[in-house]
Each structure stands twice: as structure tokens, then as C-alpha cells.
């Protein structure tokens, strides 16, 4: 068994359900320290993070990721226990195999090999690791980035180990992500008896035309890297549960996934203009989870493309699809950011798994990227 798979198994064994770490980071720091990294444990609130760096000067290449995993769901539905990883039929099975303890293992072993063969490499190599990515993400990467900014520490290139691939490792890399703007809207009406609607104001009836207009709105047309901005209603709640009572309030939860063609402020303004046109009595609590970001071209994207081609002989696709990642906290600092990781078909599912050999290939890709960016 390869060192990458051995480390991945050791990490998966640790029941680090978000925001717990359960010793994963200590294990990684022990390995990185032995490879010449200076490691600093950073705890914010109840969240464990760490920053590790090798080298003293020059451009900084950072590997970023998370040790926390999502809950397993009913463990009895798993073919094998989720925290007792095993390799069978060429697949490594266990919670976090794909998202993203496999990537973490590949990063560590890639750096161990690179440091051994290039002890005096150019620039610096760093790790930014959190246990707060699958949770609210309040005391994880965002806080470490603030800590780095206060020290005037700048990341030039960042590789996030999120599972980016679709059918084979390296077939897709994320070179950006859409922004995410959420909202909880309360529409106020007047409660009353359904038999006397003239004495009440039904907020469901009042809001329905506005919601239909919001759902039909063409917010933008996207661009070469992003699809058009989408608006989706995820929850609607109103009423007392009784069949003969007109509700006094309606609550609507909705979300925008938006491109670089728009800003969160523009989306808020356009949304509220539509609501005002329909003369609704409403209140909205907005929550910006992340701004859109894009690394269109440059040394990092080219290094990732070339590394994948050298390791697999295949070309890769650039994509900005999918949800958010912690790259949204790193990109605004000016860093080039890409996401490169294993196939994402089973992430967050029962029986999460990844092809074992893919992790070895991924480790080679990371090492090849370092050779292109930092080798002397």
C-alpha cells in the first residue's frame, strides 16, 4: 500500500464530524514538521485550524483543505462502517475518502517527496487547514485568512483539494466559483377567517405574483466562464395549520448563485424593486456566503493543466460549476485559486468512496505542480 493510501486510511479512521478534528491536524503537522515545515496551530472559538510553511522567501504556493466531514446518516445503511476504511475492488471506502481526506493525504505525501528531492526549492509551500468547512465556516479558513492578512502574509497560488473531478481524476478543475447570496423574507399580511377574506390580507396571495416574477427574471446571461445567475426558492412557510385561518405572515427562503456579471448589492436592489412594485409589506435578512471568483489564466492554471496531462495523458476542463468552497475566502486576497481533487460522485452520500489509485495519481499531480512552480 502506498504512503498516500496509508495516510488517507489513518485520517478517515478519525471520526472528525464537523466541526471536530479528532487529531487529524496533529497527524498532518507531525508529518509536515518532519518534512521541514514550520507549523502553527490556530484555534478560533471551538474550531481547530493550522498554518504550516516551508521556505523563507519568494512566491507562496498554498495547499488548502479541511479535516471535518459531514455526518454519516444511518450507519447501518453503509456497506462498511464509515470510520473503518477499507480498500476493496480497487475502491477506498469511508466517510471523507473523497471529501476530502484523500486529497489531504495526497497533498502531504506530494510535499514530502518534493521536499526530499528539492530541499532548496524556490519560493515557499504552505498548508491552510481547517475543521470548519462543512459547518457554518465562521471560525475556519476565513479567520486564518484574517490572521494572515494581519501579518501581511500573502498567498500567491492556492490549490484547494475539493473533489473537483467528474468521471476520472483530473478531468475537471475548478478555476472559480459562483457567488452565493441567501435571503429569508417575511411578508406581512393580516390574519383572519377564510370566510371573511375582506377583513384579512393573505400574504401568500399577495406574494405569489412577486415570487413568480422573481423566478422568471433573467438576471444576467453569464459569460465565458459562468452560467447565468440563478434564483431558487428553497422554503415557503405560512399558516397556523388550521384550514380556516388566513395566515398573518409568510416566510420565504431563497438563494442566488451569481456570476461575476453582477454584485450582491445589485441583486438586492433589483429584488427589492420587484417586491416594491407589488406593494408588499416585507422584511428581508440577507446573507452573503461568498463572492464569485475566477482564476482565468496564469501560472497556477497552466501548472494544473500541465500536471494533469503529464500524469494522466489527458486534457482537463475548466469549470466554475457547483457549490461554494473555502476558496471564496482566499481569492479576495489576490491569490490565484484552483480546486483539484478526486471524483465527486459519492461525496456526502452513504458509502462514500474513491478509486484508491486516483489518490496516488492526485499526489503525483500535486508534486508535478510544485516542480513546475517552485523547482530550482
Q: At what angle do helices 356-374 and 3-12 cross, to 10 degrees?
A: 110
Q: Which residues contact 103 (CB under 8 A, 6 or more apart)?
A: 65, 161, 162, 163, 341, 342, 359, 362
The catalytic position among 20, 21, 68, 112 is 68
Neighbours of 302 (CB within 10 A): 13
Q: State whether residue 55 is helix, strand or coil.
A: coil
Residue position matching grid coordinates 503525483: 364
CB atoms within 10 A of CB 177: 28
What's the CA gap between 108 and 13, in Å, rounded? 17
Backbone angles phi, psi at 322, to 5 degrees: 100, -170
C-alpha–C-alpha distance, residues 235 and 207, integer Å: 14
> Catalytic annotation on 133?
yes
Residue 376 has which C-alpha cell?
Answer: 530550482
The answer for residues whose C-beta is within 8 angstroms of residue 276's C-beta and 6 or more apart is none
Neighbours of 28 (CB within 10 A): 25
| Closest of 300, 222, 210 to residue 259, by C-alpha | 222
Rounded CA gap, 342 and 103, in Å?
A: 7
Of 20, 22, 99, 133, catalytic: 133
Question: What are the phi and psi torsion angles at 358 (to 5°)?
Answer: -60, -35
Could you give the residue numbers annotated as active site?
68, 133
Amino acid at each position: 500500500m502506498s504512503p498516500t493510501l496509508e495516510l488517507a486510511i489513518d485520517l478517515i479512521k478519525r471520526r472528525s464530524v464537523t466541526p471536530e478534528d479528532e487529531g487529524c491536524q496533529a497527524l498532518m503537522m507531525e508529518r509536515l514538521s518532519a518534512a521541514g515545515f514550520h507549523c502553527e496551530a490556530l484555534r478560533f472559538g471551538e474550531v481547530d485550524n493550522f498554518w504550516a510553511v516551508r521556505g523563507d522567501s519568494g512566491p507562496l504556493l498554498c495547499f488548502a483543505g479541511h479535516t471535518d466531514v459531514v455526518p454519516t446518516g444511518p450507519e447501518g445503511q453503509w456497506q462498511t462502517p464509515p470510520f473503518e476504511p477499507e480498500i476493496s475492488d480497487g475502491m477506498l471506502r469511508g466517510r471523507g475518502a473523497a471529501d476530502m481526506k484523500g486529497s489531504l493525504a495526497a497533498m502531504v505525501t506530494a510535499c514530502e517527496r518534493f521536499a526530499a528531492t528539492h530541499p532548496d526549492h524556490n519560493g515557499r509551500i504552505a498548508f491552510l487547514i481547517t475543521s470548519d468547512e462543512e459547518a457554518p465556516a465562521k471560525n475556519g479558513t476565513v479567520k486564518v485568512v484574517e490572521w494572515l492578512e494581519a501579518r501581511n502574509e500573502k498567498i500567491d497560488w492556492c490549490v484547494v483539494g475539493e473533489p473537483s473531478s467528474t468521471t476520472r481524476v483530473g478531468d475537471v478543475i475548478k478555476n472559480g466559483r459562483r457567488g452565493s447570496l441567501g435571503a429569508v423574507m417575511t411578508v406581512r399580511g393580516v390574519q383572519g377567517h377564510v370566510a371573511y377574506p375582506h377583513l384579512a390580507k393573505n400574504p401568500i396571495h399577495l406574494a405569489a405574483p412577486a415570487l413568480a416574477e422573481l423566478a422568471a427574471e433573467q438576471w444576467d446571461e453569464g459569460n465565458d466562464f459562468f452560467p447565468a445567475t440563478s434564483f431558487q426558492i428553497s422554503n415557503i412557510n405560512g399558516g397556523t395549520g388550521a384550514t380556516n385561518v388566513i395566515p398573518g405572515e409568510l416566510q420565504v427562503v431563497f438563494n442566488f448563485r451569481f456570476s461575476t456579471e453582477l454584485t450582491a448589492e445589485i441583486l438586492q436592489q433589483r429584488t427589492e424593486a420587484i417586491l416594491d412594485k407589488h406593494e408588499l409589506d416585507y422584511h428581508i435578512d440577507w446573507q452573503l456566503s461568498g463572492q464569485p471568483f475566477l482564476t482565468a489564466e496564469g501560472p497556477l492554471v497552466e501548472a494544473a493543466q500541465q500536471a494533469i496531462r503529464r500524469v494522466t495523458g489527458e486534457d482537463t476542463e475548466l469549470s466554475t460549476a457547483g457549490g461554494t468552497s473555502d476558496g471564496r475566502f482566499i481569492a479576495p486576497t489576490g491569490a490565484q485559486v484552483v480546486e483539484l481533487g478526486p471524483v465527486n460522485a459519492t461525496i456526502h452520500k452513504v458509502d462514500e468512496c474513491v478509486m484508491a489509485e486516483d489518490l496516488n495519481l492526485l499526489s503525483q499531480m500535486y508534486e508535478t505542480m510544485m516542480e513546475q512552480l517552485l523547482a530550482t
